[in-house]
A and B are shown apart, each in its own frame.
Chain A
Amino acid sequence: MNKLYKKLTVLSHSGSLPTGEGGGRGRCLGVLFSLLLFSTTTFAQQAGQIISGTVSDAMGPVMMANVVEIDASNRIVSSTQTDINGNFSFKIKDPKHKLRFSFVGCKTKTVPIKGEVYEIKLEDAATLTEVTVTSKRRAGGSGLSIPKDEMSTSNQSIDMKEFEGLSMTTVDEALQGRIAGLDIVANSGNLGSGTSMRLRGVSSINSNANPLIVVDGNVWENDLGKDLDLSSANDEKFAELLNVNPEDIENISVLKDAAATAIWGSQGANGVIEIKTKRGVRGKTRVTYSYRITGTRQPKGYHLLNGDEFTMLLKESYFNPRLSSTASDIVEINYDPTNPNGWNNFNKNTDWIDEVTQTGFRHNHYVSLTGGGEKANFRIGAGYDHETGSVIKQQLDRLSSRVALDYFVSDRIKIMSNLSFTYTDNQKNYDNLLGIAYKYMPNVSVYEMDMDNNSTGHYFMLPTTISSALDDQLPDNQHNKYNRFNPVALGNLASNNEKTYKVSPEFQIHYDLLSTENDKTRLKYEGKIVFDIFNQYQDSFLPSELITLGWSHPSNNRKTEYSYKSLGISTTHTLTFTPHFKNEDHSMMMMLRGQLNDGSSKSQKTTEFGFPGTISNTGADATIDEDFTGGSGQWRSIYGTFSAHYAYKSRYMFDFSMRCDGSTKFGPEKRWGTFPALSGRWNISKEPWVANNLPWLSMLSLRPGWGIVGQQPGGEYLFYSRYKNGSGYMNQSSTNPDNIQLKALKWEQKMTYNLGVDFGFFEDKLNGNVEVYKQYTTDLLMKDRGIPTSSGYGTFAWQNVGKMENVGWEFNINTNNLVKFGEFAIDFNVTFANNKNVITEMDETCLATLNKDFERKNGTYLTRVELEKSFGSIYGFRYKGVYQYSEYSPEEIKGVSGPNAPVVRDANGNVILDNHGRTTPMTFCYSGTSAMYEFKGGDAMYEDINHDGTINELDIVYLGSSLPKFTGGFGIKFKWGRWSWNNQFNFRYGNKIVNNNRMNLESMYGNGNQSRAVNYRWRVEGDIAPIPRALRQYGYNYLGSDRFVEDGSFIRLNYSQISYSLPPATIKKWGLSQLSFYLSANNLFVITKYSGSDPEVGYGGYGISADNAQTPRAKSATLGITVQF
């Protein structure tokens, strides 16, 4: 038997030899033979042969050296240690295994099992003649793992260590001003409302412009919010980043040019933000706990009128239009004790802003457990955040956890799994309370007052018996006008709760198919499956306490329940091939990846009203079901990517990638998009002639790149002609064709040329890069493209309509202990970016339909899209002040007439007189037979640009652009020993904002409250006033003009943070490995000329920024502590 075994062993060895290490055939044979053996021999004698030997080093025999038996995949099968004389002996499991000898300070030695006695001499690791450490910083993204100094694409990454100790809910808050070319604007200060981001400007007309967010190589796909009009309802959008706790993030890289984003194909058209989460590291188990407490406060916005000033204004605005004292006789503003609705309810000076704002608090708790050994690494992180808003009754709770496990099955096989779970409970306000507070009449009491002016404790709701002049302040029959409720009552009594659950389990297997060693040709397979389970529940309730409109009113006890669930599955297979060349000057890597995504969703919405009782027993039957709708969605996509990287001597690098995307959004012919990219890099500083002559130049490289990415339209089923149920005719059901099928629709393509220069001086003490780029977007996708309505439809859902160009540059500088005196160091970072976009080609009819006509209404601006002009241009009238007099006279007659009166003048400013020597009145939109309005004294004066004697469309001029000339940020960091002080600023320069908020607060057109500025209004003939007279529902005093277009440039101190960590020696005594304290202040100050509370205003349609009184970003202060065991 023994002989037989030996023979077999030899056979098996010889059999495996030709295929080399890891050769599939050999291993199979080996397995076969061992199977054979184990099945034929019931005892393990052969395998259990005892071997022995001695281990020694240069100094002689070694005690406690490790001797292990390893199998072909380097798995440890059995082990022992040498005794005091360096001797060992143990039974081997399988003679085809190898033995490995290791000892501290010595080079590990591996020998095949041959013979029974071994004399092993270990070499001293320290005596190596030459040591080359070739570890390089590698790209952390999901593409090829390329050394950082070989990367030829444009990207910028930030280590999350930089933000340690900052209190933030989502990571985008910290990124502001840190990434050159990434313009981040907070949607609003409401909790969990997210940000809108633009990387390198806007390159589409109206497709989604936010960059793609990739977490650990996964994209979160769903169709949430497909029913919402996202351009108007920013807050409604679910902030995707809310699902990632910043504490879980290890680093963030932003891929900017097409060469970098091409591997994301159609998804990466707006750039990609890749987030890499932390994983476990080998070593002792460490526990980290951190806690931050933050106090937040609303910045003070406009000062509003108090009740007394407001009632005076209202009287004037009712009186002025027709000089009628009957019109201004409104009992609620007369301070009339006989007011049947209780005059004590209408004689207050309520500061509604003050009533709805408060100091908010945020508590962030986070605990993580990390560690690992030879076989497995793990990291478990869990965070709990509790946040109350700076507006009353807002509350956000978030529970997030992330478990990362890496299990090394062998040197070749690694299994990784991630499980992340996020739960958010966002208790929002029923409506924008701050917005309501800005408008709500300040003479109205918060609580209902009795006859003796004592509060009854009930909120005061405007009764339906209010004067008819004020009945627009009442909730009307359309139950969507919640801006007419007492905001304090609405905040306290109504609820609007959004809960989300997101679970994403992920499994990965990594398999090295050829070699595991760096100096061999390698082929690696990675398989991954990710599930994405997302549920959202939104419940809102408007209790009957708020309603004064009767029991059957649809606002009475109105309850809306919305639920949405989606499940996405994506599988990814990646093969990475790294050939090894004999000449090590050449290096190469290739990757082939395929991904398949599949998902579906279901949603359901019910609206009911007229519950008997309150929210506590909404289980009771509703009396009226208003709405019951359900929806379902489905999406699928496939893509394949190939990318290759070649480097010669780490000096000349070439990259190529190609992605093929399949989308369900196009018809069969246009379904596949191919997106190639090419880029190169020349590390000039590594050329010997540079390296030798300019030793201070640690990095200088040139990176040209080119690539194409695509964009697909929003919405599914575009290439079908769909038939929908109609409302029927004469009780017979009907079906209606619903759309024009889009057979010709194709991918929007964006081609980018990018040239980057990286530089580093004095061993990268000062480093940075400059990028210049030009993007050509072709086949621009336009939503709801207007077509002749004689087709029976108003629009194509989408069409490819034209071309756009984006040119820009950006630079970024970082330092690394730049200034250093002993323990003191100063560092700074700067980013700067500029982008300009121009529409270069567009069908004339399409341009024309984009440009809406002047509506002859107050308060609207014209938007125009023109060839060779950039997006975001604002057009309107020029405001010239206020007419002092109604009647004209060349010389002023005090209180009667004067030269500053609404009369027609010629181009030289001379008054035009008719044959009878009479002046002609200035009019608004005179056409043929009549004018819409004749200006009077106290009215706004607009410049009659063309001197045709009437203010109309022809007097509208360009007023500025909403696109900033520069955006960026800078930071400065001081270090002194274990103290550090970090300040980060961000800025935008040269953009214009339409201040709708101020417009509404100075219009004096309705019954809402106004800003204190209107106290300077024109009141009587002869007044020289900056603000026109009050005219309720009359006149044209707030036409879209430059009066409300303001410069939005600002510099904000984003945060300032002082941190201190205790010396390790001290805390070691307490069993700690880290103890740090942080004190930071966010949004401490903003330097701006902008008059509103926050110049940070997001982009609306066609790139126009309009400030619609979103909740501004709060100012906050944070105290934090991090402990590590």
Chain B
Amino acid sequence: MNRFIQKHIGKSGVSFHVTLFTLLFTLSGCSDYLDVLPLNEVVLENYWTKKDDVTSVLNGCYESLTSEGSLERMGIWGELRSENLVQGGNLDNKYVEILKENILPTNDLTKWEDFYRTINRCNILLNYADGVQKLDPNYTEAQMRANKAEATFIRDLCYFYLIRTFRDVPMVFEPSIDDTQEYRVPATPMMKALEMLSDDLEKVKDDAVLRYVDDSKMDNSTASILAYENCAKVTRVAIYTLLADIYLWRGEYDKAISCCDYVINFKKEQYKERVARIGQMNDMFLFNGIPMIRESIANSKTCGNAYTEIFDYGTGGFSFESIFELGYKEGSVKNNYIYNFYSGRNSIGGFAAPEDYYQNVTSGTNDYFAKNDCRVYENIIEDGGKYIIGKYTNYSVKLENDNVTDFKSLKYDPTIVMSNYHNWIIYRLSDVMLIKAEACIMKNDPDFQTAFSLINSINKRARNYTENVKSDSLAFSAYSSSKEEMEKLLLLERKREFMFEGKRWFDLVRKSLRDGNTNYLANEATKKQKENAVAIKIQFADINTIFWPYNREELKKNTLIKQNSAYSDTEDFQK
């Protein structure tokens, strides 16, 4: 019996029972007895002592960013309201309502908890990392600063998503630890918040690691295997990119340009290193001086290589052009956004592409894509009148774009893969180039040459203008007449390039904010509407509508935030 008890209760239990009598009525002595620690978890008091504790929580920040709720919102907030997405297969009502521009504060997709969870994890790390560095001699200050830079980037990226979606959001930079803190925080105005973010990033931008894997010294195959480490995690380049994007939103165009230049120069350097190491590469080309992946490998007519290298699930993405992308590994967190909505399943996903993006493209009369633009065939798969989203879904695409007369001439050959583990790209080189181009245009540079060159290099790549076709794919004269024309071209190129990557709606929002009206947005976003287009256009006349409503539950819990006025009338029935 005694052994049995010993086994179950342990020493302290029985001896305590035995000595109870003496302690019985002096209860103050018993308080320690009531400290029962969890058996399966670590508590704060015992955590934050060594380097691994920091890196492990840092991985938790990335993990939180890849969670289903977080990724789904990155995609949906960034694109679902734009003209790029229409309903595909069966969809839950909450998505249909958004497609119909009937967004209610009760809609589940207005919940931002996943982003703040990530933010809080970053805040916690930023709060405790210094202490660990003092305790653990193996944890150098440089490592600590690099880790903090990573966490800062992740946090600020989350805020950037939130701000672009909701405009004014609560900015929390303190960790949430206990229930004595005040968790009701008012929303910070958008421009102020963006300034906070850029200030925050400026402080850490040079602390971050430039390369986790020094690929300059490796042969090409090893470097590409390990390359993921340099874009699956936050690098200095990623921070500069995010800064550039934030400056663009803030209208600080010079700063945006200088950040972009940093990134572009880094990529040029990296390219030079590679060439010096292994010679001219078959799959790369300098488009107007910027190294980019070719659609067709040298001496081949078959296009699709750029898609495969950048988006392909099979080799794991993480291409040369990648700056920061979320990695999904088999057996871990799943990427159900692609799987459910873009069709990782055998049939059409929840979302589809509008038909006018694809129709008549091979005859050259499509409004958006030239007939030799590889991206349209990579982005969209036509299947009996349905337009399945091909981006990320395609395992690989093979086509010949050099002499397109009809669909057959493409020798089109896509392979779809069913997987829950596609990567999700946040920033890639094209983005940096187009941010710079946009900043240049907005600066009202009388000569739009720099901007045009950047835009055109992307367009040229997509249309496979390399050795064979050295000329420009776009005619400068057609756009250089005015800032407006250049801006239109830029937005169109962004739309073509980043279609289904969760960016289009934010582009429309940015333009509307800049213009102070929603004319362009209302026109563009309602193109997909079959019914009620007029009513929706009228609705868009209120610029507040371009931001999402706060979730009703959040308003209930945080009385310090006020509902976006475009949605506040639906709050009335509360009483």
Enumerate chain A interface residues (CB-CB to B < 8 A): 529, 531, 567, 569, 571, 573, 592, 594, 596, 598-600, 631-638, 640, 660, 662-664, 668, 671-672, 716-717, 720-724, 726-738, 740-745, 786-794, 796, 799, 844-845, 848-849, 853, 856, 927-930, 952-954
Contact = CB atoms under 8 A, between A and B. Distances in A.
A663 B124 CA distance: 29
B30 A727 contact: no
A844 B556 CA distance: 8
Contact of B539 (A573, A636, A845, A928): A928
Nearest to A631: B40
A722 B43 contact: yes
Interface of B: 4-5, 8-10, 13-14, 16-17, 20-21, 24-25, 27, 30-31, 33-45, 47, 53, 55-57, 59-60, 62-64, 66, 93, 100-102, 104, 106, 111-113, 116-121, 123-124, 169-170, 172, 176-181, 183-185, 228, 232-233, 327, 329, 332-333, 531-532, 535-536, 539, 552-554, 556-559, 570, 573
A853 to B, nearest CB: 5
Contact of B9 (A600, A734, A745, A793): A600
A592 B24 CA distance: 10
B41 A722 contact: yes
Given A663-B34, A730-B327, A853 B552 contact: yes
A585 B66 CA distance: 79
B171 to A, nearest CB: 9
Contact of B34 (A638, A788, A929, A930): A638
B59 A723 contact: no
A798 to B, nearest CB: 9
Contacts of B111: 789
Contacts of B531: 930
Q: Quick one: which of B53, B56, B118 has the most chain A CB within 10 A? A: B56
B9 A929 contact: no
B116 A790 contact: yes
A792 B5 contact: no
Contacts of A722: 38, 41-44
Contact of B556 (A596, A845, A856, A928): A845
A721 B177 contact: yes
Given A636-B36, A721-B178, A732 B44 contact: no
A598 B13 CA distance: 7
Q: Which 6 A-B pairs have the closest CB atoms?
A: A792-B120, A848-B556, A734-B59, A788-B558, A721-B44, A789-B113
A741 B44 CA distance: 9
A671 B181 CA distance: 20
A638 B30 contact: yes
A732 B59 contact: yes
A738 B41 contact: yes
Nearest to A735: B56
Given A571-B17, A790-B185, A736 B38 contact: no
Nearest to A635: B36
B106 A853 contact: yes
Contacts of B21: 573
A890 to B, nearest CB: 31
Contact of A793 (B25, B66, B169, B176): B176
A735 B62 CA distance: 11
Given A733-B59, A741-B44, A638 B33 contact: yes
Contacts of A721: 43-44, 177-178
Given A723-B43, A733-B56, A743 B102 contact: no
B465 to A, nearest CB: 36
A569 B559 contact: no
A720 B39 CA distance: 12
A799 B179 contact: yes
Contacts of A529: 17
Nearest to A718: B179
Nearest to A638: B30
A788 B59 contact: no
A742 B21 CA distance: 32
Given A662-B34, A671-B34, A789-B113, A596 B179 contact: no
Contacts of B117: 789, 792-793
Contacts of B119: 792
Given A735-B56, A736-B57, A664 B36 contact: yes
16 contacts: A567-B9, A596-B30, A635-B36, A722-B38, A729-B59, A730-B59, A730-B228, A730-B232, A736-B60, A737-B60, A737-B121, A788-B170, A796-B179, A849-B553, A929-B102, A930-B531
B179 A569 contact: no
Contacts of A671: 31, 34
Contact of A664 (B24, B35, B183, B185): B35
Q: Which secondary structure characterizes the binding site on chain B?
A: helix
A740 B123 CA distance: 14
Contact of A717 (B25, B36, B178, B329): B36
B179 A745 contact: yes
Contacts of A844: 559
A740 B179 CA distance: 6
Contact of B36 (A716, A796, A848, A954): A716
Contacts of A733: 56, 59
A716 B102 contact: no
Contacts of A567: 4-5, 8-9
B486 to A, nearest CB: 35
A799 B233 CA distance: 38
Contacts of A930: 100, 102, 531-532
Given A598-B17, A636-B36, 16 more contacts: A567-B4, A638-B27, A640-B24, A662-B27, A664-B35, A722-B38, A723-B44, A723-B57, A727-B332, A730-B228, A735-B59, A737-B57, A788-B554, A788-B557, A789-B111, A845-B556
Contacts of B558: 788, 790, 845
A933 to B, nearest CB: 11
Contacts of B102: 927-930
B168 to A, nearest CB: 12
A592 B327 CA distance: 64
A794 B119 CA distance: 13
A594 B33 CA distance: 15
A662 B531 CA distance: 66
Contacts of B116: 789-792
B20 A720 contact: no
Contacts of B31: 662, 668, 671-672
A788 B184 contact: yes
Q: Quick one: which of A789, A796, A953, A954 has the most chain B CB within 10 A? A: A789
B13 to A, nearest CB: 5
Contacts of A717: 36-38, 41, 43
Nearest to A952: B573
A638 B13 CA distance: 13
Given A529-B17, A729-B327, A736-B63, A600 B536 contact: no
B188 to A, nearest CB: 11
Contacts of A741: 44, 177-179
A637 B177 contact: no
A594 B20 contact: yes
Nearest to B112: A789
Contacts of B47: 723, 735
B179 A726 contact: no
A247 B447 CA distance: 100
Nearest to B113: A789
B331 to A, nearest CB: 9
B131 to A, nearest CB: 14
Given A734-B63, A789-B113, A740 B539 contact: no
Nearest to A853: B106
B471 to A, nearest CB: 42
B41 A845 contact: no
B169 A744 contact: no
Given A567-B8, A632-B40, A929 B24 contact: no
Contact of B121 (A600, A634, A635, A792): A792
A662 B26 CA distance: 12
A743 B63 CA distance: 28
Contact of B57 (A573, A735, A853): A735
